[in-house]
Amino acid sequence: MTFFEAISKLLKRKKINGYYEASSILTPKEKQSLIIGFSIIIIPIIICLLLLILN
């Protein structure tokens, strides 16, 4: 569930005077879950697109 929590935290955060609030900073675990989650989503899409282009 940290993947969805990290996405919601990214969508809700706001800049105040060029800085983010301390509660909206992502933890290392949330950053890691975002990287893994997006790689799970994006890599199959890229493979499908390459197969469609080559076919």
pLDDT for 20 = 80
Return per-residue pLDDT of the chain as tens, 55 residues.
789 999 999 888 888 888 888 888 889 999 999 999 999 999 999 999 999 999 8
> Per-domain residue ranges for the chain?
2-54
Q: Model's pTM, two decimal places?
A: 0.73
Dihedral pair phi/psi, residue 38, rounded to 5°: -70, -30
Indicate the DSSP class of residue 25.
S
Q: Specify whether the CB–CB gap between 15 and 42 falls below 8 A.
A: no
pLDDT for 17 = 85
Between helix 28-54 and helix 2-12 the angle, nearest 10°, is 100
